């Protein structure tokens, strides 16, 4: 078979045209495309994550500080310490003054 004969045969077969509805079907299916350039975020939107992070860090830090805060020894311990150091009288005087002023 010659090339020209093959071409004639190929010409005999032509694909059909698409249906008339195809174009409208595609247009209907085409969703609006968002602009590819990233949308400008508002000031609030941009800094909201940073603010949230800072707030979380503050909350955690405050919690840690609360846990680690030195507990004040009770008055009996202070009194015992004053006794050991020989400042019993001064201690009694200060404590008495404080209690009387309150």
Partner 1 sequence: MLTTPTINSAGVSDPDADLIFGLKSGDEKALSGLMDRHMVSIHKMAYYMLGDQMAAEDVTQTVFLKTWENAGNWDAGRAKLLTWMRRVTRNACLDILKKKKPIYTDSVPELEDTSNSPFESLSESQQSERVEAALSKLTENQRMALTLSYYQSVPQREGAQIMDISESAYESLLVRARKALKVILTNENDGG
Residues that bind partner 1 (CB under 8 A): 1-3, 5-10, 12-19, 22-23, 25-27, 29-36
In the complex with partner 1, the residue whose CB is nearer, 9 or 46, is 9
In the complex with partner 1, the residue whose CB is nearer, 34 or 89, is 34
Instruction: Tell me the closest approach of the beta carbon of residue 40 to partner 1, in angstroms.
Output: 16
CA angle 35, 39, 40 (to 5 degrees): 150
In the complex with partner 1, the residue whose CB is nearer, 6 or 51, is 6
Instruction: Tell me the closest approach of the beta carbon of residue 22 to partner 1, in angstroms.
Output: 5
Q: What's the distance, Cα to Cα, between the start and end of the chain in Å?
A: 121
Tokens of 10: 């190929």
Tokens of 66: 């609360």
Instruction: Tell me the closest approach of the beta carbon of residue 18 to partner 1, in angstroms.
Output: 4
Residue 62 neighbours by CB under 8 Å, 6+ apart: none
In the complex with partner 1, the residue whose CB is nearer, 23 or 51, is 23
Contact predicate 79/91, CB 8 Å: yes
């Amino acid at each position: 078979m010659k090339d020209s004969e093959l071409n004639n045969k190929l010409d005999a077969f032509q694909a059909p045209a698409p249906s008339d509805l195809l174009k409208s079907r595609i247009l209907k299916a085409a969703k609006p495309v968002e602009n590819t350039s990233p949308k400008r975020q508002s000031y609030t939107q941009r800094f909201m994550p940073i603010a949230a992070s800072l707030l979380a860090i503050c909350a955690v830090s405050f919690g840690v500080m609360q846990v680690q805060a030195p507990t004040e020894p009770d008055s009996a311990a202070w009194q015992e310490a004053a006794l050991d150091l020989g400042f019993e009288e001064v201690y009694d005087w200060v404590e008495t003054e404080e209690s009387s002023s309150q």
